[in-house]
Amino acid sequence: MIIAAVGTAFPPHYYDQERLLEAFRAHWARRHYNLERLEALHRNVLVGGRHLALPLEEYEGLGSFGEANDAWIRVGQEVGEEAVRRALDGAGLAPADVSALMFVTVTGVATPSIDARLVNRMGLASNVKRLPLFGLGCVAGAAGLARAADYVRAFPGDVMVLLSVELCSLTLQREDLSIPNLIASGLFGDGAAAAVVVGSDRSAAGPRVVATRSAFYRDTERAMGWDISERGFKVVLSAEVPELTRRHLRSDVDGFLAEHGLVRSQISRWIAHPGGPKVLQAVEEALELAPEALEISWRSLREAGNLSSTSVLLVLAEVLERRPPALGSYGLVLAMGPGFCSELVLLRW
């Protein structure tokens, strides 16, 4: 099970955090909100700018969940196709070579799903196996890699493409003045990423998936997720997420590595989902990492924000393209998300 390539794609509309903050100030000032508090929350997430699915001025015209979701379907197909094509090009494969397509998201809904629409747009084989998954949230990038590895273990001659599309800006509740929503308005961005995972009967450059581990933390359902209503997706984001990370991640990682005769010091690349400053700090503390260990995750957060399931694949793409370790080295992909839960994927170059 080899990760042959990762492709990424973003909508063309990029705004720095100052421009976005200016727009939020103008909107929420109508309701006499504490604008100093808004500014502090946006600065604390340490995001420098984000891609948005739509031009900034078009968001005010989205009058319903249905209109926002229609935009998600349209833009999702565009960035999804671009990410898949880039990943296939990187792996030296064509759309017709794809045996299975897994699609993960938590920011929109569609039936037929985005993966089905891409079969038509891209000319995928009519017998391609499709697996659309909704609801895993931020953990879905790592979990998708794990499930893709499971698939090609069973079908070693196959090519699985994992596609993540997250257009978080289209979920924003503009009338919600809760602290979680205000944090989300400054933290989350839009984009897509696709990973090509091939079985052992195929030759490919890239790291091998050695093993995976899922961990579910009981009775933590309100730590993170959505409350869904006629208005769409309202964010649930508890302040206990960093503490849950500190409480569980070290023992999960150490136990997982020990099963393969490894310890943390043998991991050359930490490919961590950039969930936010407090989450990344909690990961650093829990795993006793050097400041530079999560440098790519911190930079991804700063340059693009948190893209839910897409973000860990952005970090992986950066490692594959610009920071691959020496042959024989190990890496660990890790992410946490709604449930509350975590997913670990052990790689070897």
Tens of pLDDT, residue by residue over 280-336, are 999 999 999 998 999 999 999 999 999 999 999 999 999 999 999 999 999 999 999
Number of H helices, E strands in the chain: 10, 13
Q: What is the pLDDT of residue 289?
A: 97
The yes-or-no verdict on residue 247 having pLDDT over 80 is yes
Question: What's the rounded Cα separation, in Å, for the pair 306 and 235?
Answer: 14
Bridge partner list, 334:
272, 344
Active site residues: 138
Residue 135 binned pLDDT confidence (cut-offs 50, 70, 90) = very high
The pLDDT of residue 32 is above 60: no
Whole-number CA gyration radius for the chain: 19
The pairing of strands 190-198 and 159-167 is: antiparallel
Spatial distance between the Cα atoms of 191 and 168, rounded to a whole number of angstroms: 9
Mean pLDDT of 258-278: 97
Separation between Cα atoms, residue 122 and residue 203, nearest integer Å: 24
Supply the pLDDT for residue 264: 97
Judge whether residue 232 has pLDDT over 90: no
| Cα 56 to Cα 172: distance, rounded to the nearest angstrom | 13
CA max distance for the chain: 62
Asked if the model's pLDDT at residue 337 lies above 90, the reply is yes
DSSP sequence for 178-220: SHHHHHHHHHB-EEEEEEEEE-TTS---S-EEEEEEEEE-TT-
Task: Average the pLDDT over 183-203 and give the result.
Answer: 92
Please say if the pLDDT value at position 33 is more than 70: no
State pTM to two decimals. 0.94
Task: Supply the mean pLDDT for the chain.
Answer: 94
Residue 209, pLDDT > 90, answer yes
Average pLDDT over residues 244-264: 97
Going by C-alpha positions, the residue among 188, 151, 206, 174 that lies closest to residue 333 is 206
Whether the pLDDT of residue 34 is over 80: the answer is no
Contact present, 47 and 125 (Cβ < 8 Å): no
Mean pLDDT over residues 117-136, rounded? Answer: 96
Q: What is the mean pLDDT of residues 88-110?
A: 97
Partners of residue 232 on adjacent β-strands: 229
CA dist 128 and 160 (Å) reads 10
